[in-house]
């Protein structure tokens, strides 16, 4: 179970824009990612919004996400960013990388990244990430919503194979590890090591895939991401860049 007091203690020393990271806890919300749209949350950034229950938890493309009290962890990291930092492709791979490292720090299970925004454990989804941004005056705000399966029963209907991180994992430490790692990487101008490790842990690396969005359909060998966060697909000795992180990736 998550302790908000322990979470606050574990966040001591984590800063963004010279402001310490704080926590807002709610028992029940529609979605933690909805909160970054409110002015009082914007004024408190950087802040983590965390809830026991989400009535309308969602993933990419408004897909339903399962969020159950004491069976999952749901939180959003809300940040105020400079406009030159708002490249969702880069923010997407940084968030996946940091979450992967946090899992590996606390568990010996087999984790990997499924592009664009899922973490798999033993080949099944254990966590998903949803990023949303909003302009407000001259400022831009980002919310990184994260859902983690902790102990969801196999009998509960989920529309894809899922795994559970387990109730023994220190949830407060997991969240603080993610926030610290992500903000440190966000402040860095060199992400070459991040990209290398991301690709080394990419599910389906060097396998045939199909990537589809509303305009394009790519098929070929999955090569990984480049420095801009584009997914690279190789076919007939040519490389194709997938820029849209809202695309759907399937294995052939």
Instruction: State pLDDT tens for residues 29-60.
Output: 878 888 998 999 999 999 999 988 766 555 55
> Sign (positive/negative) of CA torsion 153, 198, 99, 130?
negative
**Same-domain check for residues 164 and 234:** no
Q: Are residues 86 and 148 in the same domain?
A: yes
DSSP three-state, residue 10? helix
Q: For residue 213, what is the domain's CATH number? A: 2.30.30.100
Residues 170 and 247 in one domain: no
Residue 156 has a pLDDT of 66
CA atoms within a 13 Å half-sphere pointing along the CA-CB vector of 103: 29
- d(Cα 92, Cα 210) in Å, to the nearest integer? 20
**What is the structure's pLDDT at 158?**
63
Say whether both 90 and 29 belong to one domain: yes
Helix (H) or strand (E) holding 11: none
**In the block, which residue shows the tokens 């831009």?**
140
The pLDDT tens digits for 80-107 are 998 777 788 999 999 999 999 999 999 9
Note whether 163 and 76 are same-domain residues: yes
Contact between 106 and 10 under an 8 Å Cβ cutoff? The reply is no
- Taking 90 as the threshold, does the pLDDT of residue 126 lie above it? yes
Kindly state whether residues 82 and 145 are assigned to the same domain.
Answer: yes
Residue 195 scores a pLDDT above 70 = yes
For residues 11 and 60, membership in a common domain is answered with yes
Q: Picking from 100-109, 128-137, 174-183, 227-236, which range would have the lowest pLDDT averaged per residue?
A: 128-137
35 with 139, same domain?
yes
According to the model, what pLDDT value does residue 159 have? Answer: 64
Are 86 and 139 within one domain?
Answer: yes
Residues 23, 68 within the same domain: yes
> How many domains does one find in the chain?
2
- pLDDT tens, position by position, 212-235: 987 889 899 999 999 999 999 999
- Domain span at 225: 204-251
What's the confidence (pLDDT) of residue 215?
Answer: 82
Cα(172)–Cα(11) distance, integer angstroms: 9
Q: Which of 160, 181, 199 is the last residue of a domain?
A: 199
The domain that holds 103 is classified in CATH as 3.30.930.10
- Interhelix angle 171-187/88-106, rounded to 10 degrees, is 140
Q: Tell me the whole-structure pTM to 2 decimals.
A: 0.92
Task: Give the pLDDT of residue 69.
Answer: 72
- Average pLDDT over the chain reads 89
Q: pLDDT tier at 160 (50, 70, 90 boundaries)?
A: confident
Residues 186 and 214 in one domain: no
- Identify whether residues 194 and 208 lie together within a single domain: no
């Amino acid at each position: 179970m998550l302790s908000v007091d322990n979470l606050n203690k574990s966040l001591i020393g984590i800063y963004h824009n010279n402001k310490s990271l704080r926590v807002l806890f709610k028992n029940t919300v529609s979605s933690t990612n909805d909160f970054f749209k409110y002015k009082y949350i914007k004024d408190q950034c950087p802040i983590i919004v965390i809830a026991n229950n989400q009535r309308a938890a969602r993933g990419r493309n408004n897909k339903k996400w399962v969020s159950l009290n004491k069976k999952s962890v749901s939180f959003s990291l809300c940040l105020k960013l400079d406009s030159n930092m708002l490249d969702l492709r880069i923010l997407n791979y940084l968030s996946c990388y940091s979450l992967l490292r946090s899992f590996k720090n606390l568990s010996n299970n087999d984790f990997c990244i499924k592009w664009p925004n899922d973490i798999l454990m033993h080949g099944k989804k254990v966590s998903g990430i949803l990023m949303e941004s909003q302009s407000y005056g001259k400022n831009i705000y980002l919310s990184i919503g994260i859902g983690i399966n902790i102990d969801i029963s196999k009998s509960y209907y989920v529309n894809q194979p899922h795994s559970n991180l387990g109730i023994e994992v220190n949830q407060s430490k997991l969240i603080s590890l993610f926030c610290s790692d992500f903000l440190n990487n966000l402040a860095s101008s060199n992400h070459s090591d991040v990209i290398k490790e991301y690709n080394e842990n990419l599910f389906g690396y060097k396998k045939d895939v199909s990537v589809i969005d509303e305009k394009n359909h790519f098929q070929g060998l999955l090569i990984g991401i480049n420095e801009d966060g584009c997914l690279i697909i190789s076919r007939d000795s040519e490389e194709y860049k997938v820029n849209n992180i809202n695309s759907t990736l399937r294995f052939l």
